Chain A
Amino acid sequence: MIAMFKQYLNAMRRNPMGLIGLIIVSSFVVMGLLAPYILTRPEDAWGLTYDVGKRFKPPSLEHLFGTDECGRDVFNRVLLGTRFSLMVGVGVVALSLAIGIPIGLAAGYVGGKLGTALMRVTDMFLAFPPLLLAIALAATFGRGLFNTMLALSLSWWPWYSRLIYIQASSVKSMPFVDAAKVVGLSELRIMFRHVLPNVLTPVITQATLDIGSAILEASALSFLGIGVPPPIPEWGLLVSSGWQTVSRAWWISFFPGLFIVVTVLGFNLLGDVVKELMDPRLRNLMAMRRMRL
C-alpha cells in the first residue's frame, strides 16, 4: 500500500500536469460533496424561487457569477451543479463498467459460441455513433437524472467489454490459469479472482479518462433538452438556459461552461498519470526519458 502510494507520488513528480489534474479533480469532488452545505442561497441553487427585480445582473461581489433570467444567483447554481455533473460522470462510467466487464469477461474467458454471440451484441451497440445512440435512448426513456445516466451507459459499455474481451482471451491461456484449473477451482472463481485482476489495468485507465467525456456528453444531452430536467442545475442545462441571451448576459452560460471545461481537463490530466502508473512499460520509458533529460 505504502509502496503504491510512493509510486504514485513518484509519478506525480515526474508529471506535474498530473498533480494539477489531481488537485482539480479532488477540489471539484470536495465542492460537489459539500455543495449543499456551503450554498449561500440554497433556494436559488435548487431553483425554488425567483426574483423579478434581479434579472440579468452582471457579476458583482453580491453575485459572483451574476444572476439569470429568473433573478437567481448563477454562482450558487453552478456550485450545486458540480454535484450533479460529477454524479452523472462517475455514475455513467460505473454503470458502464458494471455492464461491460462481466460481458467482456464472459465472452473472453468462456469464448466459443457464447463469446461470439456476446461480442456480436457488443458490436451492434458499437455500430451506432455513441452520442447519437444516447440521444435516441434518452428521448425514449424521458428526462431524469437516472435516465440520463442509463442512456449514456448503454451507449458506453461496449468499449469496456471490448477491452476486457481482448485481454481476457489472451490471459486465459496463461499457465497460472491452467494451474488454477488443475487445483480444481470453479470456473467462476477463476474468472473473477484470477483473470479479472489481470485484465483490469487498461479498463481502469480508460475509465478515468472517460469520466470527463461522460460529463461532457451528459451536458450535451441536457443542452439539447433531453437530459436532466429543469430546475435541477446540471451544467449543460445551465449553459443551455443562458444560450438564448448570451449576447446580453454572457455570464449565465459562461461560468457553467468554464466549469465543464476545467473539470474535463482535470480528469484528462489525471487519466494520463493513471495510464502511466498502470502501464509498467510506459512507466519505465518515462523514467528513462527523465534520466536522459
Chain B
Amino acid sequence: MPVNKAILIAVLVLIVVAGSIAIYYIVSPRPAMPPTKVVVYASLSEMTTADPSTEFSNSIIWLPLVYEPLLWYDPISDELIPALAVNYTSSSDGLTWTFAIRHGAKFHDGTPVTAHVVKASIERTIALGEGAAYIWDPVDSIEVLDDYTVVFHLKYPAPLDKVAATGYSAYIFSLKVVEHAGASSLTDPKVAEWFNKGNEAGSGPYKLAKWDPESEVVLEKFAEWWGWELPEYPMKSDKAPDVFIIKVVKDAVTQEKLLLSGDIDIAMYVPLDNLEQHMKNPNLQVLRKQSFQNLIMLINVKKPPLDNVLVRRAIAHAIPYDDIVVVARSELARVASGPIPHGMWGHFDNLTFRYDLNLARELLAQAGYPNGINRVFILTYTAGDIYEARTTELIKASLANIGISVEIRPLSWEEQWALARKGWEDPGAAQDFLVFYWWPDIVSPFSFLYNMFHSASKVFNLCYYENPEFEALVEEASVFEGIDKAKALELYYKAQKILYDDVPATPLWDMVDIRVAKANVGNLDKAVNPAYPTVVFAQVLSVGD
C-alpha cells in the first residue's frame, strides 16, 4: 500500500539521519570545554546556621567565601586589606570613621553594593543583637554621605577598622532578602528562616550552590565578582577552583584516610603524631601556621590555698611547658608567653613562666607549705579533646613533684562551664583549675584580657580574678587602640605584667594550626589566616589543570 510504503520510507530516512548525527558526534572532535576544577576541603564539624548577621559558630568556614565585610585583616603583618571598602579614614579622636565603598561590586542577585546597603546590613545585625553583634557596640549611628561613602559615629573611641574586619557579624548582604523571604522588614524572622533554608545574598567570590549542613556545602565560583578583574588584588588567584566543596568529616583519622585515598584535597586535621610521615610524602603538603587559639589554665584565686599568690606562683613554675608542647601537640604549638598568642599584636616574649621545680618548692615553703599541700585539687577540662587530655596528664604528673595532688575531671563543656560559673557565688564549690581554649572574636588583646580577667565578664572570667588597677589599664588600652597604637601597646603590656605577677592563670601553649593537602593545591599558605579560624579562602588557591 502506498501509505504504508511512505511511512516505511520516512522511518528509514529518520533512522539514517539519526544514525549519521550520532556517528558525527561520536567521531568528530568535541569543542574544548575547560575542565571544572574542584577542591574538596574536609571540616571537622557540622555547619550551624546560615544567617550572616547572627551566625557565631562553625559556619564561619564558608561565610567569608560567600559574603564580604568592609575590610579583611591580615594579623601577621597587622595590615587591613580592602574588601567592600576601598579605603577608610578616621578622625584624630577616634570617634568618626569614614569608609569609601567599592564601585562596581555587586551581589549574586545582581544588585549593586552601595553605602545604603552597608548601613542597612549592619543595622540589621545590631538590631538583632545576636551572635557577635556586640562588636558594633561602640557605634552610635551610621550615616550615608552619598551612594559610595558611609560614616560611622562612635560613642567611645574604638578600632572600628578591625571591628569591620571581624569574621562574624560584619558581613554585608543584599536588601533583596526581604522580597525573597516575603518578609515585612530586614529584622523579620522570616529573613533568618530564608537564610537557614540554604539561601544566600552575598557579594563574595563564591555562590552557595548546595547547603546540606550535616554533610556538605558546595560553593560555585561567582564569575562577576569584582576581585577577579583586579590584577594586583592580594585576595584572589587566577587559578582559583571553580567549585569548592566543604565536606563534613568528623574525625582526624578518617580525614587522613580520605586525603591519602584522594577523596578530599585538604584536611582540616590529621593525627598530629603522624605529621612527620606526611611531610616525607611527595604527594602531600603540610602547612603549619601560628593560630590565635591558645590553651590556658585558669586558677580559682578565691579558693584557699590558691588565694595565696605564692602558691599560684609555685604552681606556675612547676608546669613543664616545653614537655607539654612535645607530648600534647607533637611540637605543633609554642609555649605561651602571656595570654596573648604569638604573632598577634599585643604579644610580648618575656612573660613565660620558667619551669623550675626547686623555685616552685621554695615558693611553696614561703607560703607555709614546705611539705606540699594536703588536699586534692580538681582540674577540669573539656572531655574528648585529646590535646587537653594529654596536657592535663602532664600537669598532674608534674605538680605531684612539689606535693600537690591533682584529680583530673574530664567534663562536657556545658558541665565544665556550669560548674565554673558557680565560682562567683561560691568559690569553694567550683573547680581549682580549669583548662580551656580561648580565641579572639575581634583580633585584639582586649578580647583575651577583658573576657578572661575582667570582673565584669562573669561568664568567662573563671578564675574569679578582680583587680581594679588591671581593669582600668585594659579599658584605657582599648580606647587608645583606635587612636594611639603605641600608647595602647604600652598599657596592654602593663596589664599583662600584672597578670604575670598575680598568676590568676598560667597560659600553657599557643596552637600552631595545620592543614594537610594534596601537593597540587597551590597558595595554601595565603589561603589560611589566623584571624578567620577554619577558613580556607578558596579564591586565593591556585589549582593546576
Contacts and interface: CB of A to CB of B under 8 A. Distances in A.
Contacts of A56: 273
Given A47-B393, A244-B271, A52 B383 contact: no
Contacts of A69: 273, 327, 390
23 contacts: A48-B396, A48-B397, A49-B397, A50-B394, A52-B323, A52-B326, A52-B327, A55-B327, A56-B273, A69-B390, A70-B394, A143-B383, A143-B410, A225-B383, A229-B410, A230-B410, A231-B396, A243-B253, A244-B252, A245-B273, A247-B274, A247-B277, A248-B274
Contact of B327 (A50, A229, A244): A50
Given A225-B384, A245-B273, A70 B389 contact: no
Contacts, number: 59
B367 interface: no
Interface string A190-211: 0000000000000000000000
A142 interface: yes
Interface in B314-346: 323, 326-327
Contacts of B386: 244
B18 interface: no
B393 A50 contact: yes
Given A70-B327, A70-B393, A229-B408, 18 more contacts: A47-B393, A50-B323, A50-B393, A52-B323, A52-B326, A52-B327, A70-B394, A142-B411, A229-B409, A231-B393, A231-B396, A244-B252, A244-B273, A244-B386, A245-B271, A245-B274, A248-B273, A248-B277
Contacts of A50: 323, 327, 393-394, 397
B456 interface: no
Contacts of B323: 50, 52
A31 to B, nearest CB: 25
A280 to B, nearest CB: 50
A70 B326 CA distance: 9
Nearest to A48: B397
A230 B383 CA distance: 11
A48 B394 CA distance: 8
B378 interface: no
B95 to A, nearest CB: 51
Contacts of A49: 397
Contacts of A48: 396-397, 400
Contacts of A226: 383
Contacts of B410: 143, 225, 229-230
Interface of B is mostly: helix
Contacts of B393: 47, 50, 70, 230-231
Nearest to B272: A244
Interface in B360-375: none
Interface string A235-246: 000000001110
A142 B416 CA distance: 12
Interface in A16-53: 47-50, 52
Closest 8 CB pairs of A and B: A244-B271, A245-B273, A52-B323, A52-B326, A49-B397, A248-B274, A225-B384, A231-B393
Contacts of B383: 143, 225-226
Nearest to B273: A245
Contacts of A70: 327, 390, 393-394
Interface in A46-68: 47-50, 52, 55-56
Contacts of B253: 243-244
Contacts of B409: 143, 229
Nearest to B271: A244
A229 B379 CA distance: 13
A225 B386 CA distance: 10
Contacts of A244: 252-253, 271, 273, 386
Nearest to A224: B384
Interface in B188-215: none
Nearest to B411: A142
Nearest to B270: A244
B506 to A, nearest CB: 18
Contacts of B271: 244-245
A52 B322 CA distance: 10
A143 B380 CA distance: 12
A230 B327 contact: no
B318 to A, nearest CB: 14
B399 to A, nearest CB: 11
A194 B492 CA distance: 81
A106 to B, nearest CB: 37
Nearest to A70: B327
Nearest to B392: A230
A220 to B, nearest CB: 16
Interface string B382-414: 011010011001101100100000001111000
Contacts of A47: 393, 397
Interface in A112-127: none
